[in-house]
Amino acid sequence: MERVIELKKYVKDDLPDYQQLVRCSEVMYYITGLGMDGIQSKAKFNSILSINNQQHSIGYFQVLDQNTKDVLGECKLVYYLDDPTVFEIGYLLKKEYWRQGLGSKICQDLLNLAQYIDPTKDIIGIIHPENAASRRLLEKFGFRSFFRGFENGLPTEKFIKSATLK
């Protein structure tokens, strides 16, 4: 049976689930390079809650199995930090849910949400240049690479999906 997902905005009570997700270095390899400890993850989660409290429709979401309510991962649709006229999307999954087509479902849900909120905004996706699966996913949905280099000391590749090409 095909897994159906739902996106639920993070709330304060989700901290333990978030910490479990981001402490795994393998899951975080292409994001920060290492898993987060308790102090780091709590600080990041507080930042996530702040963003979620400021924005009604966008923010950071848990990715849940719609039937079991198991936490599969997380995703985001936020205003791009360097240019708030642009959306940024991203996601991560627990290792046991890799290679099951969930990235495509998450990406489609985020793009649908972005289109509903503001169809005139371009959308950015940022990946580690060695993350071939994420590159294929973004390209599948019409994103094109426009930057490859280092940002905040981390190897970075940025992709954009232009609102005029949707």
Contacts (Cβ under 8 Å, ≥6 apart) of 80: 86, 87, 88, 124
| Residue 1 or residue 90, greater confidence | 90
Decide if pLDDT at 166 tops 70: no
pLDDT band at 154 (very low <50, low <70, confident <90, very high): confident
The topology under which CATH files domain 5-165 is Aminopeptidase (3.40.630)
Q: What is the mean pLDDT of residues 78-96?
A: 93
| Residue 119 or residue 165, greater confidence | 119
Query: In angstroms, how far is the first alpha carbon of the chain from the final one?
Result: 31
Contacts (Cβ under 8 Å, ≥6 apart) of 155: 128, 129, 130, 149
Q: Which among 51, 17, 21, 52 has a CA at the least distance from the CA of 36?
A: 21
**Amino acid sitting at position 57:** S
Domain boundaries, the chain: 5-165
Helices (H), the chain: 15-22, 25-28, 38-54, 102-117, 132-140
pLDDT band at 24 (very low <50, low <70, confident <90, very high): confident
| Residue 27 or residue 117, greater confidence | 117
- Indicate the SS3 state at residue 152: coil
**Amino acid sitting at position 71:** V
CA distance 135 to 156: 12
CA distance 129 to 114: 24
Q: Which among 134, 131, 127 has a CA at the least distance from the CA of 151?
A: 127
**Look-up: residue for tokens 């949707």?**
166
CA distances from 15 to 116, 150, 162 (A): 28, 30, 34
